[in-house]
Structure 1
Amino acid sequence: MDFCATLFLLFFGCVLCSRFPQRQYHYVQLPMNWIGAQSYCREHYADLATFESAADIQTLKADFLYQWAWLGLRDAPQVSDTWRWSMTGETSRTGYQAWKHGEPNNYAGKENCVAMNTKGEWNDSPCNARINFVCYSVANTNHQIYHYIALSRTWSSAWKYCRAHYTDLAWIENQVENSQVLSVKPASAQVWIGLYRGPWTWSDMSQSSFRNWKTVSADIFIGNRSCAVENPLHEWSYLPCEDKHPFICQQVPRQKMVVRMKAETEADLTDPAVNAQLLQQFSAALTSGRSTNFTLRWKVQPRKQEKPRLTDPVPPSTCKGLADL
């Protein structure tokens, strides 16, 4: 049976936050470490501050009684969800990892790609280092086959080679696969695998590429100086995340948006399972569009129908769907 529906999507929250509504910033004069500041902002506001332009910075009116204040920007190689596989662009699906003790450490702030050492352990390394690498392909049985490539390449060049000749750089999700990669390479070789990360990410997962570093370059820091701070001149630097400083929170005003759609489907839109599936699809679409901080609900409102005449075919069921976001 066919069903048609007019869908009204009411968006309540932050929709496409990179453009509007404008963030509001709050200077909090409570010295905390970066994690503590993040927790405070998420509890009392929305998150630690994200800035997308110099104009955003100028909206911050703060009485800096201290030299520095935390921002939402952090370079955290020890955090597992910052590392992604080149094949999927996503974090590990199993949570498996084989880091060497003390790794990843992002030495000198330049280690954003991963190599396997002679023991099968993982090290974070500079992506412009030239070493051999391991690609993989997929057999008919969906079994991964690993291929050692005796060419000295940067991580990016190795990735392009694997994409052109095989499937991708080695993708490892368990101990068996890690052992297989170890077995195909020479015992003395260190090789690239497909694990990498994007440095300097925002606490609210914004994709903003705006930076306002001081004259000193951001790539010279060593050790755990991997959380960003701002001074009274709105210049940014980086300090150990365990230091205690005031911080800047952000709040995004909730915005309402109404979208009207009409859809025809054979599915029964009064079925809770169908409604749940539609909500999931809407949520996925909104998330991919960089919408954040929203909730989604579904309400079905039947529309009164005219009584059919005996000579007319029975009309399809008609309903309205109301989704609150």
Structure 2
Amino acid sequence: MDSNNLFILLVLYISEFSGGQPIVFRPDYTYIAQQQSFYKVHLSRMSWFEAKRMCVLEDASLFYPQNEEEAKDVLSFITHTAPTIPSIYLSLNDLDTKGMYQTIDGKPISDVYHKWSPGEPNNNNGEEDCVVLILENGLFNDGNCNTTEYFVCKKPLDSRSNMSNSVGQEIIFRPDYTYIAQQQSFYKVHLPEMTWFEAKRICALEDASLFYPQNEEEAKDVLLFIKDTDPMISSIYLSLNDLDKKGVFKTIDGKPISDVYNKWGPGEPNNLGDEDCAVLHQNGELNDLNCNIKQRFVCKKPLDSGCNMSNSPGQEIVFRPDYTYIAQQQSFYKVHLSEMSWFEAKRMCALEEASLFYPENEKEAKDVLSFIQNTTQTIPSIYLSLNDLEIKGVYQTIDGKPISDVYNKWSPGEPNNNKGEEDCVVLILENGLFNDGNCNTTEYFVCKKLLYSVRRNSRCNMPNSGGQEIVFRPDYTYIAQQQSFYKVHLPEMTWFEAKRICALEDASLFYPQNEEEAKDVLLFIKNTKLPIHSIYLSLNDLDIEGVFKTIDGKPISDVYNKWGPGEPNNNKGEEDCVVLFENGQFNDVNCNNMKHFVCKKPLEAVTWNSRCNMSNSGYIFSEETGNCYKLHTKPLNWIDAYATCLLERTTLAVIDSPSERDFLANLAIRAATHLISETYQKGIFHLGFHNRHNTGWTTVR
């Protein structure tokens, strides 16, 4: 049925809704049903290597067409999205072996769609190793990988994995992870090769950890999983390393190698060429390797790591298994035994959804010093969050507190800013005193996570902290001073696209109410360490030239406004939208320019639907079925209805029982159809059944 219809969305029983329903991949990706995949056209030119990395950052991969049908579909998609683009990079390259083209995931070019232009590939000047697709004719050309081109990222729908628990409800960690029942854990093979440090970081970013086999059975299961994923993978990095103490291998979470699977190859480990990290070969043997050599890797998330925290008295309280809870401080702490610069330490804590430690008071200083001494006796000092990087001599914490508001006991003669280069603070463990040091010097450090800031446990469908948590969406960050949630969008978009994406996320394009909020959000952006120098604001003069106002109608005079010199100047008569620079100043720009942006959701605007355990108050709980439903009264075709459900992290309704059928029928009958002005077929509603592939009727589940 191709006509536009009303449709109903279903949230399955709470535990399934929280972790297992089909979800939209990313709101800036478009789903092409025929290809069962999501695609995004990047309108910023990049080198092939940058394009490949950008797709990986978006949890996708650089596109290549599997067959002629996909090539045609994606060419049509690009033409409708950006008709002026002449060509795009493809995943295909011959970087490994000259003349032997393959995809990033190792498929030879003969196994995928390939139509070369006449005389191509010609390897002009011996420097053409990457493939571009000419959009005008659909033919290939080889080009220099450092030339900048547009590109498309792709995420297949079937890259998500499902399994069922004993009551038939789906259990999932992340859609790109696969559950291996024998091991009660989720695994993901990362095909892009990375250094050991990068691999460890990527797993942490995915709330997982770099894999190591607990025993021989797990080693065999994961090797089989890797083989099924890509038989060309010869080895992967393991968590095991001897970075702390040469020759003493242990896992990232501190287990000695003797307690886990360890089957070294003949003559290994031999530490040939500074080899401190372990790899696992297809034959099940271990080898030590230089940690900076790039390898593929596997991330792992144990099933029981999602539900190891409870509100019930006497049960364990956990943030991450490698963090320790100190009850007196109502916080979690982790001692990092790898020395890093202050900037790296700050970033590592952020990657673990924590922050670089500073003591709020003398009691916390003593508690953490005791915790460190019980963890290790060899650390002489640690970095603290305190620094004077912004204003020399004015020390503050990462979250903006002046040093006078927190614990501070300087060593005699400190801070002395030796050689004018000491801007970061270290804590001497022997006496509990402070010293200023060069931020690029490597030190040990401690990360801290406040109990009340621990996010919602989606696997257990409950707040981790017994109801203290404040949440809107897991990809938004709460800034307490502003009583609002914020999200930085890294992909650049036009002002109109940015506005639309924020609305899709039930938020709005950001503008600062006052100077304090401007500073807080600029600091938030800075702390993400993303390469962002300006962002779109909600402010615009699209209605009346020269009369700037916010999306919600406030005149610019009522909100923060600090124009740069000579701005706004409406250059060429085409600048109607406002950007905010790092220095806090405004500039007017063309609304079609591509910019980063921030979405905002005030806390007071968040309505928590406790019956459905979600922030969308438009859902209704049914006592008869135990499910939650929402009737959408904007007529859409089935594909758009399906996509809208995904955006709300739900799915089109599937009728499982007569009681559910009756409930949905009554919900539809009560719909306020007089509010609908668009054409639709009355009395007909989309459900989650389809036969789109002509292979028989199935459900969206």
**Smaller-chain TM-score bracket:** 0.3 to 0.5
TM-score calculated relative to the size of structure 1:
0.38
TM-score calculated relative to the size of structure 2:
0.19
Higher strand share goes to which structure? Answer: 1
Which protein is bigger by CA-based radius of gyration? 2
